[in-house]
Amino acid sequence: MIDLKNSGLDLAFDEKNLKLISKSKTLKLPKPGIRTLKQAKKFLMDEKSTAENNDQNIYYMYRDVCANGDKEKLAKYNLRYDITVIPPNKIGREFIKTVGHYHPFLKNEKVTYPEVYEVLHGTAHYLLQKIDMKGKVIDVKVIIANKNDKVLIPPNYGHVTINAGKEPLIMTNLVELNFSSEYGDYKKKHGAIYYGLDVDGQIKFVENPKYKEHPKLKVIKVREMSSFGLLKEMPLYVSAIKFPDKFEYLTKPQFCFKE
């Protein structure tokens, strides 16, 4: 059992049954959404690698996680808190990953909704790619995050999360409540602009040939961003409940981010 009290909630993860557990009577967990290999195959470098295991579950998404009384507090600020679990695995040569998506542009604006992630357990490789207004990828970066790290996904960046470790990757996210993610371009191009492959047990990024141009991949270090409400010693959930106004940039990015 993996203790997840660093989330700010009384949670644990049952590794044997791949299930998030609430130890509190004030927190009833929602039923997780499950991504299967069949659903993910169009986002992979080699979709044939799913042929024999189409129904295999690859990761679990708990949406709108809240203790009693907190949902209204977050909804008032149009915020939603989620938890995603990605058990260690490989699909063909690729380390296990989320399928990847972009966020929509705000109406009459040139910015998309940002998002914040927090690692509770394991190590995450967040692969970000920035698009211009014509959909061209103009910047690519990877952020490696460990336990208690918080990562901001800025406006106009699509993102994939890769678990290249041997432990379950358990992460939270805070995001605007109402928008729907856009998966089409990642599906059309069979994933992100780079693939994270297993080479002798280490992750190696290689170009996805479905993209015509490949900006150089930059490795970015995690840094504390107190002005964005992101403190390493304070769980993201606690920050969001105590200081929801600090996260206005997630719902009104047109006023908070400048090129």
The pLDDT tens digits for 189-207 are 999 999 999 999 999 999 9
Residue 128 parent element (H or E): strand 124-131
By residue range, what is the domain housing residue 170? Answer: 2-255
Tokens encoding 60: 């679990």
User: Mind listing the pLDDT tens digit for each residue in 99-142?
Assistant: 999 999 888 888 899 999 999 999 999 999 998 878 889 999 99
Residue ranges of E strands in 70-110: 79-86, 90-91, 94-97
Percent of the chain past pLDDT 90, that is, above it, reads 79
Determine the pLDDT at residue 254: 82
State how many domains the chain has: 1
**CATH code of the domain covering residue 31:** 2.60.120.10
- Entry pTM: 0.94
Largest CA distance in the chain: 52
* DSSP-based three-state secondary structure for 64: coil
User: For the residues 199-217, what does the mean pLDDT come to?
Assistant: 95
